[in-house]
Structure 1
């Protein structure tokens, strides 16, 4: 059971891992783990920011222009769409 490991046993397990993977691969694995953690953190912040943006009231005057695309991943057929302006006649 993991909860019953003594400090000496944990050190032996870490030493065994170091022997198995070698000194070269451990820094690479640590770098990869750090990079994954940074990516996960930035994605979580982006999702939180998106949630806050959708919860905020929508102001059409501040909205970015919408774009219609001809097909997914086809940027050559993109056309900007302008909203018709409504005028009030007295």
Structure 2
């Protein structure tokens, strides 16, 4: 599954830290806690998955998540949460 935006992108200096707990470039207490991507990373790793991030400053960012379809329980759970689309539907 890929999620993309066409925002400002993530600078290289920040990109290497985005999965660290509490890492944020925003003022603490005004917008989030810096835990969102850390939680996603932990969940994906717990299910033997991978996250690939590609970001170009001024053009946007693409997060690609993959999970093994060998583990049917994980696949069903991701499907029920709306986090996974079968490959066929992405190419149709």
TM-score normalised by L of structure 1: 0.23
Name whichever structure is richer in helix by fraction: 1
More relative contact order, 1 or 2 (CA 8 Å, 6+ apart): 2
TM-score normalised by L of structure 2: 0.23
